[in-house]
Amino acid sequence: MSAQEISSKAFLWIKILFWKEFSVMRHLMNPLDFTVEELDQLFVLAGDIEKNREKYAHACDGKKLATCFYEPSTRTRLSFESAMLNLGGSVIGFSDAGSSSASKGESVSDTIRVISCFADICAMRHPKEGAPMVAASHSSIPVINAGDGGHQHPTQTLTDLMTIRSLKGRLSDFTIGLCGDLKFGRTVHSLINALVRYPGIRFLFISPEELRIPDYITDMLKEKNIPYEEKIRLEDVMGELDLLYMTRVQKERFFNEEDYVRLKDFYILDEAKMKLAKPDTIVLHPLPRVNEISVEVDDDPRAAYFKQVQYGVYVRMALILTLLGIDTASL
């Protein structure tokens, strides 16, 4: 074999190794970025983390998570930070656009290029739809969409699925009611898109006309022949539900204050309505709650929205490990 052939083969192997090393980097922009099988593996890992937290306490030693939050957040940001700290890693970042160079006019693409020099993985929330996708296209580290406008909120969806799977024992064959702001609710849109991949799901959409589910969602359900109904009165469907997903009317999505005031108290889940529900119905809420669930419901064993928050930490821990390519089998 000539020196030129050896050199050519060596170059080919370098290209193959380089491709293997760098092509596996993944981002999470949408719940559908993971297959059903991959989601199942993620939930198995999250379940193991729940049972064996000490086992994962140093899995991310020396790793840094950047939390780039261009709009306010309590649960999502602190959940990500808790997840990384629980794994032995550290956290850097900002909690609003005003405390970042965005206030000086820096673009998302420039910001992520800078962040890539400091951190190993990034969670980004942004009020503009598609901003995390722009960041991912310019990033040299994995980027997680932590919510972009009224578009997607994939890690909340993973949290919701993990909660349902843990409490119901399955992700199929149930009737779920989604109530409240179905027009702007990114958690609702993400959850529907994720659930349609499982068999036997029936949707009941409960909202005022002004906040009804977008046509592109119902068109998709019709195309896939997935049953759904649209209702206005929550009382009329409580007895049919295996799961009730409550949402708040989001003041920040309204341009008209009068419209918000008129709609914000349209639905309030209270003890009287809970008496109409099945004994094993589960009530979920992505939080924050305003007053769409009365505090009197909190002590009902069917209220699972605070458990939901804890499951969110476990599933984000599993997601960080997965996107960083940490070998959990050796832990």
User: Catalytic: which of 27, 63, 77, 125?
Assistant: 125
Asked if 104 is an active-site residue, the reply is: yes
What does the pLDDT read at residue 156? 94
User: Catalytic: which of 76, 157, 187, 247?
Assistant: 76
Asked if 189 is an active-site residue, the reply is: no
* Contact in structure between 270 and 280 (CB atoms under 8 Å): no
Asked if 75 is an active-site residue, the reply is: yes
More confident residue, 290 or 315: 315
Tell me which of 84-88, 156-160, 259-263, 289-293 is least confident: 259-263
Distances from the Cα of 248 to the Cα of 39, 286, 313, angstroms:
27, 9, 22
CA atoms of 242 and 282, how far apart (whole Å): 6
Asked if 153 is an active-site residue, the reply is: yes
What is the tens place of the pLDDT at every residue in 154-200? 999 999 999 999 999 999 999 999 999 898 888 898 899 999 999 99
What is the tens place of the pLDDT at every residue in 25-46? 899 999 899 999 999 999 999 9
The distance of Cα 236 from the centroid of its chain, to the nearest Å, equals: 29
User: Catalytic: which of 153, 248, 264, 316?
Assistant: 153
Helix (H, G, I), strand (E, B) or coil at 245: strand
Q: How confident is the model at residue 260 (pLDDT cuts 50, 70, 90)?
A: low
CA atoms of 88 and 235, how far apart (whole Å): 47
CA atoms of 97 and 95, how far apart (whole Å): 7
User: Catalytic: which of 26, 75, 212, 231?
Assistant: 75
Asked if 126 is an active-site residue, the reply is: no
What burial class does residue 241 get, using C-beta atoms within 10 Å of its C-beta: 0-12 exposed, 13-18 middle, 19+ buried? buried
What does the pLDDT read at residue 267? 85
What is the tens place of the pLDDT at every residue in 88-138? 999 999 987 766 666 667 899 999 999 999 999 999 999 888 999 999 999
What is the tens place of the pLDDT at every residue in 60-88? 999 999 999 998 888 899 999 999 999 99
Q: What does pTM read for this prediction?
A: 0.87
- DSSP-derived secondary structure for 116-181: HHH-SEEEEEESSTTHHHHHHHT-SS-EEEEEETTTB-HHHHHHHHHHHHHHHS-SSSEEEEEES-
Which residue from 237, 231, 247, 253 is spatially nearest to 291, judged by alpha carbons? 247
**Hey, what domains does the chain have and what are their CATH numbers?**
26-151+311-323 (3.40.50.1370), 155-309 (3.40.50.1370)
CA atoms of 87 and 52, how far apart (whole Å): 12
At 95, phi and psi to the nearest 5?
-105, -5
Which residue from 133, 247, 261, 278 is spatially nearest to 180, judged by alpha carbons? 247
CA atoms of 194 and 315, how far apart (whole Å): 15
Within 10 angstroms of residue 269's Cβ, the number of other Cβ atoms is 25
Within 10 angstroms of residue 137's Cβ, the number of other Cβ atoms is 12
